[in-house]
A and B are shown apart, each in its own frame.
Chain A
Amino acid sequence: MISFSPTEEQSLIVDTLKRYAKDRLRKVFRDADEDGELPADLLAKGWELGLVGASIPEAYGGFGELSAVTGALALEELGWGDLSTALALEAPATFALPILAAGTEEQKQEWLARFSDETYPNATAAMLEPTIRFNPRQLQTTATASGDGYVLNGVKAYVPLASSAEHVLVYANEAGKTQAFIVPVSASGVSVGEREKLMGVRALDLGRLSLENVTVGGEGKLGGAAGINFDVLYARSQVALAALAVGVARGAYEYALDYARNRQAFGEAIGQRQSIAFMLAEMLVEIDGTRLMTWEAAWKLDQGEDALRAALLAKRTADKTVLMVTDRAVQILGGHGYIREFPVELWLRNARGFATFDGLAIV
């Protein structure tokens, strides 16, 4: 049946996150961006919402099940609240959910329980590399089979919370295929480099990670000897980023809509002019369309269907939509849009990142 209404359970999650985003994230996001860090207790509090635990079945210590649709709904709300916080809260998910989706039974038993605990786990994933020719299916970081295990070499970029991470899921090129490896940051040859200095998501700690002859045992390769189907994990990541982008776009659209309704010029609200009103109508059209494409790709993942194309289409569309919408929000606010007392310039800077972000979130 084709249907567009979330389940009651999903609606409950969405409502909770709406409140959290409004009451917590929207209160701190500007200062966090200016300060270059998230408030100390923000992640701890956010973690208590049980976002990752809700994706993990009871058998592995969690209290829910993996659903890309539910994940997409949740991430839209977090993206609406603040992208830096959303990505920080997602960092442990990028470690845990691939293990849940593609790990061996032993890996699930070993790692997943801690993600339902009340303490924020210092785990993250490393996908991006510092090159303009970045290709997630032809990574420059290599994993070479050696004895019972693997030796990893390469440099990873934009690793969420790299400076505080204890475990990293590192994506690497093993004989031409992308595989994932569980690497303790304490392992010999791992070094955390400088924090990235970025245009947006400035409250988020994204760092470099160097791997020099890092040895990983056979048990550290995700999915065991057979490895993973990278296409599926990558599609899950694209859907997550698309959902976050929809949230960012919706936030900017709502702000600009409200502004256009109230801002007076030439004796009337600027929204009473078609040049502004039509921009807003088009922003809504694109946001709604992008959301539905994201949901459809998520639904395909949940059905176990091939979601390669759908996820690519959703992510590409989301990249364009979020940039278009946040740019127009700045434009509608005019001079105000350019000033840091107003939020829209921050959202434009964050939005531009989506075309670059890879592997920073997952459903």
Chain B
Amino acid sequence: MAIEFNLPEAIATQQSAALMVAEHMMRPVSRHFDEHEHDIPWDFINGLWPVMRANPMFGAGESKPKNGDSGDKPKRTPIGNMTMIHLIEALSWGDAGIYLAAPGGGLGAAAIAAAGTTEQKQRFLARFRESEKPVWGSMAMTESQAGSDTSAIRTTAVRAGDEWVLNGEKIYCTAGRLSLEESAGLVVVWATIDPKAGRAGMRAFVVEAGTPGMKVAKLEHKLGIRASDTAAIVFTDCRIPLSNVLGSTEVVTAEQAAQPGGPKGFQGAMKTFDATRPAVAASALGITRATLELLHAKLLEAGYELRSDVPYHDMSAVERDFLDLEAQHRAAWLLTQKAAWLMDMGEPNTVEASVCKVKAGEAATLITQKAVEMLGPLGYSRELLIEKWMRDAKINDIFEGTGQINRLIIARRILGFSSRELK
């Protein structure tokens, strides 16, 4: 090992393919799907599906062998997460909303892959490899009174014979409609099996499309990423097989779960955030790179110089602004790569995943907002995509843990305080 920054050939090849898709299948329809919210980008979806289903890292959920677990095969350095963030970055450079509508297992499959049994992985994940038609998986966690505070979830799962009965209402489920109404997909639903137990009673349940008692009740209208549906899902006596619960059915206290080899309930699936936070950061930085590229071109067109060989105190204000934006982007992207690399190395990356998410969420927000300002009447106009990218970027400081929640996660880890000690 060494400290190196050259992109492996295998990733570079896939990245340029993704950039082709981004340039030719996403950018030309970007504005249309922003202005026609809830239209579905079928051309993009159908074009991408054969690629996605052939690619296990996009949510088909095949677990990768751990380091040194590769049998007789020559040992290769795993690059799954590094590849994934580069592809997400490239697709989001095309359009972050359309990227979120890309078919595949998404967060739902990620949770199943992280916390499911072998039987569950086979039963639920095969569709993401085998289906002829595009399929989506999604995750339903948020409720109207439970956002960052997931212990406030009220959706219940009650055991009745050999079934679970779900009741409650979920909101803000990304690709909920695509998963449940437009494909034979699934949603992973968080519910409590013991409302008095807080997080210890929280479990994830797999509900397949077409299950009676589950209904997509509403599609949200959003500030940005409008090509991606954000669904409210209502469960009314929705019955699913007992075997659809992920992980143990015991009520597991936090203390029990913290034991080495102890039962994993909520904590087990929280691990998926270690992979999804760098993914969100990568998406944010795809939008950001697109913004910086267009900003750079427009500034040069307008006659500004963007020099590297003059002292900071001799640069124009525009030159300084651009330099600082570029630096923010670079720092965020390197932090994201580091978080993904640690994951590939099989190392713990909870802190680094939150670090890159904090930096990328903030950088994307700041950079896109500043770009609108710097481009004046062009920036604010809907004729360019800059204003759209500003609206798209903002979500990245909110979903998969707000900037504040991720600061809290970092702070608890570095200070060594529990969630009770540092609220």
Interface residues of A (CB under 8 A from B): 1-7, 10, 69, 132-137, 231, 257, 260-261, 268-269, 271-272, 274, 277-278, 280-282, 284-286, 288-290, 292-293, 295-296, 299-300, 303, 308-310, 312-313, 316-317, 355
Among B5-13, B50-58, B226-234, B369-377, the stretch that binds chain A is: B5-13
B358 and A285 contact, CB distance less than 8 A: yes
Cross-interface CB contact of A134 among B7, B311, B324, B412, cutoff 8 Å: B311
Interface residues on B, range: 35 or more
Q: Which residues of B contact A280 (CB under 8 A)?
A: 411, 414-415
Q: For residue B306, give the distance in angstroms from its CB to the closest CB of chain A.
A: 10
B7 and A2 contact, CB distance less than 8 A: yes
Cross-interface CB contact of B2 among A7, A284, A292, A316, cutoff 8 Å: A7
B2 and A281 contact, CB distance less than 8 A: no
Q: Which of B338, B415, B423 has the most CB of A within 10 A?
A: B415
A1 and B422 contact, CB distance less than 8 A: no
Q: Which residues of B contact A3 (CB under 8 A)?
A: 1-4, 341
B414 and A281 contact, CB distance less than 8 A: yes
Cβ of B410 under 8 Å from chain A:
yes
Residues A1 and B77 in contact in the complex (CB < 8 Å), given A136-B311, A137-B309: yes
A313 and B7 contact, CB distance less than 8 A: no
B334 and A281 contact, CB distance less than 8 A: no
Mark each residue of chain B from 294 to 318: 1 if its CB lies under 8 Å from any CB of chain A, else 0: 0000000000000011111110000
Among B159-167, B191-199, B245-253, B325-333, the stretch that binds chain A is: B325-333
Q: For residue A191, give the distance in angstroms from its CB to the closest CB of chain B.
A: 27
Residues A312 and B8 in contact in the complex (CB < 8 Å), given A7-B1, A272-B422, A284-B414: no
Cross-interface CB contact of A2 among B308, B341, B404, cutoff 8 Å: B341
Cross-interface CB contact of B355 among A261, A272, A288, A310, cutoff 8 Å: A288
Complex Cα–Cα for A10 and B2 (A): 9
The A interface is mostly helix, strand or loop, or mixed, namely: helix
Q: Which residues of B contact A284 (CB under 8 A)?
A: 351, 355, 410, 414
Cβ of B113 under 8 Å from chain A:
no
Mark each residue of chain B from 330 to 360: 1 if its CB lies under 8 Å from any CB of chain A, else 0: 1110110110011000000001100100110
B4 and A299 contact, CB distance less than 8 A: yes
Cross-interface CB contact of A272 among B79, B311, B323, B421, cutoff 8 Å: B421
Q: Which residues of B contact A281 (CB under 8 A)?
A: 358, 407-408, 410-411, 414
Q: For residue A117, give the distance in angstroms from its CB to the closest CB of chain B.
A: 30
Complex Cα–Cα for A309 and B335 (A): 19
Can you identify 27 A-B contacts, CB atoms within 8 angstroms? A2-B4, A2-B5, A2-B341, A4-B342, A6-B3, A7-B1, A132-B313, A135-B310, A135-B311, A135-B314, A137-B310, A261-B416, A274-B407, A274-B408, A274-B423, A277-B415, A281-B407, A284-B351, A286-B331, A288-B338, A289-B335, A290-B331, A292-B335, A293-B330, A308-B309, A312-B323, A313-B326
B337 and A2 contact, CB distance less than 8 A: yes
Residues A271 and B341 in contact in the complex (CB < 8 Å), given A4-B3, A135-B310, A137-B310: no
Q: For residue A283, give the distance in angstroms from its CB to the closest CB of chain B.
A: 9
B410 and A293 contact, CB distance less than 8 A: no
Complex Cα–Cα for A289 and B281 (A): 14
Cβ < 8 Å to A, chain B residues 1-45: 1-8
Q: Which residues of A contact B313 (CB under 8 A)?
A: 132-133
Q: Which residues of A contact B6 (CB under 8 A)?
A: 1-2, 303
